[in-house]
Amino acid sequence: METEPITTIAHVIQLSVAPVFLLTGIAGLLNVLTGRLGRIIDRARSLERAMAAGDGEPKAAEHVRLRTLAVRARWINIAISLCVLSAILIALVVVTLFASAFWGSDYRGGVAGLFIAAMLALIGGLVFFMREIYLATSSLRIGVH
C-alpha cells in the first residue's frame, strides 16, 4: 500500500487550513461592509424621500449630506471589491497548493505571489473601510442643531 500520495494530500490539507480560516475572517468583514453599505443606501433613500416631500427647494445641507452618503458608498464599494479580490486570491492559493501536490510541480513562487497579492488587496480594503468610517464620523451630527 502506497502512503506517499496520502501523506502528501494530508500535508496539503494542513497547509490549506490557515487560508480557509482567513477566508472565514474575510467573509465576516464582507458581512460588516455590506451591512454598512445597506445602511448608507437606506439613509440616502430616506433623505431623498424627505427632500421630495418637503416644502420648497431642498436645503443646501441636505444636498451636502447626500453627497457625503454617495462618497461613503463609493469608499465601501471599493473596500468590498478589494476584500472580494483578496478572498478570490486566497482561494487560488489553496487551488495552487493542491495543484502542486497533484502534479508534483514546484509552485512556491506562485503561492507566495498570490498570497502577497491577497494580503495587499485585504490591506487596501481595510484602508478604504477606515476611510469610510472616518468620513462617517466626521459628518456625524449628535444633538439638536
pLDDT tens readout for residues 33-62: 999 999 999 999 999 988 888 766 668 888
pLDDT of residue 33: 98
**C-alpha distances out from residue 61 to 7, 21, 70, 81, Å:** 65, 44, 14, 30
**C-alpha distances out from residue 11 to 3, 4, 16, 90, 128, Å:** 12, 11, 9, 18, 36
Task: For residue 100, give the nearest of 114, 91, 110, 89 by alpha carbon.
Answer: 110
CA dihedral 120, 122, 128, 134 (to 10 degrees): -120
Give per-residue burial for 37-66: e unless 16+ CB within 10 Å, then b. Answer: beebeeebeebeeeeeeeeeeeeeeeeebb
Question: Which pTM does this prediction carry?
Answer: 0.84
Is it the case that residue 29 has pLDDT exceeding 70?
Answer: yes
pLDDT of residue 16: 75
Residue type present at position 119: M
Note the pLDDT tens digit of each residue in 93-120: 999 988 887 787 788 889 899 999 999 9
- Which set of grid coordinates corresponds to residue 139? 459628518
Residue type present at position 25: G
Q: How far apart are CA 82 and CA 121, in angstroms?
A: 5
